[in-house]
Amino acid sequence: MRILIVGLVKNPQFLRVKEEGEARGHSVIGCYASDLIIEVSEGDFSVRLKKGDLNYDLIYLWAVGKRRWDWYAACLHLSKTQGTIVVNKKVIDPSYNYYLTSSIDYLKQVEEGLPFPKTSVIFSEKAVDNIINEYKYPVILKTSEGRQGRGVFKVEDESELREKVKRILKKSPSVIIREYIPNDGDIRVFTVGYKAIGAMKRTPTTEGEFRSNISVGGKGEKYELESYPDIRDLAEKASLITKTEIAGVDIMINKDSGKPFILEVNPGPQFTGLEKYTGVNAALEIIKYFEMLYNNRK
């Protein structure tokens, strides 16, 4: 099988997937999202990479960023004309791909009765006036396009809230405001094919740091899902209803009430921390999932 990973080239995660894929006889190639070329003429729509064709059996859109809509169009074309398998496949699902925002995921969580912190999504500085009285400080403020803990802030008062909203909206189309959940870290559950393959508890290690992401210095330790089937089931359901085939589902437990809350369902999640702290071979599980999709293709 020829596999293309879009958005990663020298990243350690890509190298792990490449290693496991090649050990099972597959060709695994990485490219930058900016390598895409789309050529259109009357009666013809074609796509390729700067350094070659796009003749792959499976394309995993790991990190396409601001070029995502063009990659979605390219993958839709490849799926129709070549039968290319696309992961996450929701990006070429006509019932889903025009609504790939945080808001649609929140809607689905509400419809399915899944727990998550009170949240507001705003698109202008003036909108702060409409929601300011609905929250108690501190609150969590984040950009709608943040990854790996970047663009996330714990805000202590109204002045800071307004200043950071203004700053975020200069680079992001929207701002997400969430109630703060008292906690001692969070749980990252890694799902592949909507099934949990492992989890780790993450806690901040720096004084004053509220983020527990491994990428910003958080500490990880194995979290035994067998002992917490409710957390496993919650993560699997969250990945399923958002159609995120490979996901890092972040769950936070309120340390006062014990109630779990879904924080994020992350597509293209990092897994080097998971492998390090739990011993789970996430790269191999991803390759096995790709093989299942390929063997079950129509």
Residue in the structure block whose two tokens are 């074609």: 46
Q: Which residues are CB-neighbours of 85 under 8 A, at least 6 positions away?
A: 57, 58, 59, 79, 290, 293, 294, 297
pLDDT, tens digit (0-9, with 9 covering 90-100), for 254-281? 999 999 999 999 988 889 889 999 999 9
Q: How many residues make up the chain in this entry?
A: 298
In this prediction, residue 99 carries a pLDDT of 53
Domains of the chain, earliest start first: 2-97 (3.40.50.20), 118-179 (3.30.1490.20), 186-279 (3.30.470.20)
In this prediction, residue 66 carries a pLDDT of 83
In this prediction, residue 239 carries a pLDDT of 94
In this prediction, residue 211 carries a pLDDT of 74
Please state, for a pLDDT cut of 70, what percent of the chain lies above it: 93
CB atoms within 10 A of CB 65: 12
pTM: 0.88
Q: Are 252 and 218 in contact (CB under 8 A)?
A: no
pLDDT, tens digit (0-9, with 9 covering 90-100), for 83-132? 999 999 988 887 765 555 778 788 888 999 999 999 999 999 999 999 98
Task: Indicate if the pLDDT at residue 160 is higher than 60.
Answer: yes
Cα torsion angle, 239, 242, 245, 246, sign? negative
pLDDT, tens digit (0-9, with 9 covering 90-100), for 194-214? 999 999 999 887 766 677 766
- SS3 of 110, please? helix
Please, which pLDDT band fits residue 143 given cuts at 50, 70 and 90?
Answer: confident
pLDDT, tens digit (0-9, with 9 covering 90-100), for 21-40? 999 999 999 999 999 999 99
Better-scored residue on pLDDT, 216 or 252:
252
In this prediction, residue 215 carries a pLDDT of 63
- SS3 of 186, please? strand
In this prediction, residue 172 carries a pLDDT of 83
Task: Indicate if the pLDDT at residue 151 is higher than 90.
Answer: no
In this prediction, residue 203 carries a pLDDT of 86
**Helix axes 12-23 and 282-295, enclosed angle (nearest 10):** 50
